Amino acid sequence: MSQATARNRPKHLNLFQIRLPIPGIVSILHRISGASLFLMLPFLLYLLQQSLQSPDSYIHFRALVGHPLVKLILLGLLWAFLHHFCAGIRYLTLDMHMGTDLAAARSSSYAVVGVSLVMTVILGVWLW
Amino acid sequence: MVRRVPVGAHYGLRDWLVQRVTAVVMAVYSLMMLALVVFAPPAHYGAWKGLFAQQWFRLASLLFALSVFWHAWVGVRDILMDYVKATGTRLALQVLVVLSLVAYALWSIQILWSIS
């Protein structure tokens, strides 16, 4: 590494100038999906409660999840869950020192993004 | 000469392990639920309620819920430590998150055990 290159390194991290490598994209999406799932926990618990409380609340639950806006939110959360799941499995395998070289880390990252998107479409179409 | 640096609260390794153990619990429960929904979907209220009326399923669901909340605590705390630099704000948010998660845990127990 030459002196000039070292001097030209960015002093701060500008999110609009960084070109994040694919494992980095999986990582930040892991965060975003986890945070979204956390923020929606009360809504999900409310849905579970409505689905179980009584026959009347069950009807209310069915009406709620039948609403297009709620369906859209749940579709988003389905993706968040599937991405968090797949990326999580990837991190567990990395912990066990599997697929840690650059090529494998990149291809498993593409797999995480791809599989979670395809699963979201399949389950989303089926459940819509 | 070995220089030991006695700093930190030493919760790092425990949290690292908690994050992974709870992840495995959630993954197993999720796959079980996926199999259930695909092969024997509970189509009406009676079937759905009947599923949760079984003690083992209720306990498995509680174990899953508690894993979610503990896992969420470690994750959200990491996010807050990374992005919220003001100590007072960060501590306030962390307290809010802990109290929310404890409330969710109690709520989950109420939901699961109010099924007759």
User: With a cut of 50, which residues of chain A have pLDDT below it?
Assistant: 1
pLDDT at B4: 67
| Rounded mean pLDDT, B96-107 | 98
Q: What is the pLDDT of residues B15-70, one digit of tens each?
A: 999 999 999 999 999 999 999 988 988 989 999 999 999 999 999 999 999 999 99
pLDDT at A3: 60
B27 at interface of A, judged by CB pairs closer than 8 A: yes
pTM for the whole thing? 0.89
Mean pLDDT score across all residues of chain B:
92
pLDDT at A75: 97
pLDDT at A63: 96
Domain limits, chain A: 21-127
pLDDT at A34: 98
- CA B24, CA B38: separation in Å to the nearest integer? 21
Tell me which of A52, A74, A95, A123 to substitute to probe the interface with B (most B C-beta atoms closer than 10 Å).
A52
A28 at interface of B, judged by CB pairs closer than 8 A: no
- Partner-chain contact A45 B108, CB within 8 Å: yes
B92 at interface of A, judged by CB pairs closer than 8 A: no
Tokens found for residue A85: 């799941």
CA A111-A115-A116 angle, to 5 degrees, is 120
pLDDT at B43: 87
A38 → closest Cβ in B48, B49, B72? B72
pLDDT at B95: 98
CATH class held by domain B12-113 = mainly alpha
A105 at interface of B, judged by CB pairs closer than 8 A: no
pLDDT at B75: 97
- CA B20, CA A83: separation in Å to the nearest integer? 16
- CA A7, CA A86: separation in Å to the nearest integer? 39
B30 → closest Cβ in A41, A51, A85? A85
Residues of chain B neighbouring A81 (CB-CB closer than 8 A)? 30
- Partner-chain contact A35 B76, CB within 8 Å: yes
Higher per-residue pLDDT: A11 or B112: B112
- CA B5, CA A92: separation in Å to the nearest integer? 29
pLDDT at A55: 95
Is A21-127 in CATH node 1.10.10.10? no
ipTM of the complex: 0.90
Q: Which chain B residue's Cα is nearest to A95?
A: B20
Residue A11 — φ and ψ, nearest 5°? -85, -20
Residues of chain A neighbouring B76 (CB-CB closer than 8 A)? 34-35, 38
